[in-house]
Amino acid sequence: MSIELNHISCSYPGGAQESVTVFDDFSLHIADGEFIGIMGHTGCGKTTLLQLMAGLIAPSGGEVLINGEDINKAGYDRSILRRSVGIVFQYPEYQLFETTVEKDVAFGLKHSGLSRAEVRERVIWALTLMGFSYENIRTRSPLTLSGGEKRRVAIAGVLAVKPDILMFDEPIAGLDPQNRTAFLELAAQLNRQGTTVIIVSHNADALAESVCRLIVMDRGRTVMDGTPNSVFADPVRMQELHLGVSTPRAIADMLAKRGIPIAPDIIRYEELLLELRMNLKAR
């Protein structure tokens, strides 16, 4: 499913203070099946952007189109959103509120029309995908889980709905390396199967290894938008934005400064190794 934001304005009322304008004439087009990363300094509007795209908040101006339909117009069937757009929040503990893990993961399927057996099958499928043993975890209270486990259960609950668009707000912060790799592989796999995937993250290494398009935001604007290779090819600009490039890119820059020529668009470990091997051969 495609997402189009056209000339969006959005602000938060400030109460006693001044209101905060997050977006003023912001536009972004995401095609069906894209795999997108979003980076940006804290407060630049990443979470607000996801909430706008998921229809959780409405813009004060402009339009949000999902598959060409304005999701904020009167009469729009919002059940389409619940079925097709999945969002995993930054703080998953706010997303878990049932008494058992099983009930929590099944929550989004309540009005899906699936039979009990089908719901159970989905719950088993999603929990297994997230690396849990269904039998061991199903009766646990979400409150008793670790931060990383809560996050994985929250992700399972969103996956169980099988949405066409998946959005993750800082999904790998707080995950151990093994679960981080597993999550990124899963996101890539879902994307290959046709799901549009959007990941907000500060982790440049993870984004370099996974996404096909990287959007860099600054104070409610898109300041860079392209392949991760093209975005990380400008470390100076990234530094100005208080953001990092991937570690292989940083190593390549250090080597280049010491007179070892390295292509400027290297961002992944595999690419760096290949380049070093060619360099050694050329000597």
Ligand X SMILES: Nc1ncnc2c1ncn2[C@@H]1O[C@H](COP(=O)(O)OP(=O)(O)O)[C@@H](O)[C@H]1O
Q: Which parts of this chain interact with Mg ion (CB under 5 A)? A: 46-47
- Tell me how far, at minimum, the Cβ of 80 lies from Mg ion, in Å: 25
Nearer to ligand X, 22 or 267 (CB): 22
Smallest gap from Cβ 219 to ligand X, in A, equals: 9
Minimum CB separation of residue 37 from ligand X in Å reads 14
* Residue 96 binds which entry of ligand X, Mg ion, none, CB below 5-8 Å type-dependent: none
CB of 47 to Mg ion, least distance (A): 3
The DSSP code sequence of the chain is --EEEEEEEEEE--TTSPPEEEEEEEEEEE-TT-EEEEEE-TTSSHHHHHHHHTTSS--SEEEEEETTEETTSTT--THHHHHHEEEE-SSGGGT--SSSHHHHHHGGGTTS---HHHHHHHHHHHHHHTT--HHHHTTS-GGGS-HHHHHHHHHHHHHTT--SEEEEES-STT--HHHHHHHHHHHHHHHHTT-EEEEE-S-HHHHHHH-SEEEEEETTEEEEEE-HHHHHT-HHHHHHTT-PPPHHHHHHHHHHHTT----TT--SHHHHHHHHHHHHHH-
Of residues 16 and 117, the one with the C-beta less far from ligand X:
16
Q: Which residues bind ligand X (CB under 6 A)?
A: 12, 20, 22, 40, 42-48
The site partner of 22 among Mg ion, ligand X, none (C-beta below 5 to 8 Å per kind) is ligand X
Instruction: Considering the complex, state which of residue 46 and residue 268 has its C-beta at the smaller distance from Mg ion.
Output: 46
Residue 92 interacting entry, from ligand X, Mg ion, none, C-beta within 5 to 8 Å by type: none
Nearer to Mg ion, 47 or 201 (CB): 47
CB of 96 to ligand X, least distance (A): 20
45 binds, among Mg ion, ligand X, none (CB under 5 to 8 A by kind): ligand X
The item of Mg ion, ligand X, none sharing an interface with residue 20, based on CB under 5 to 8 Å by kind, is: ligand X
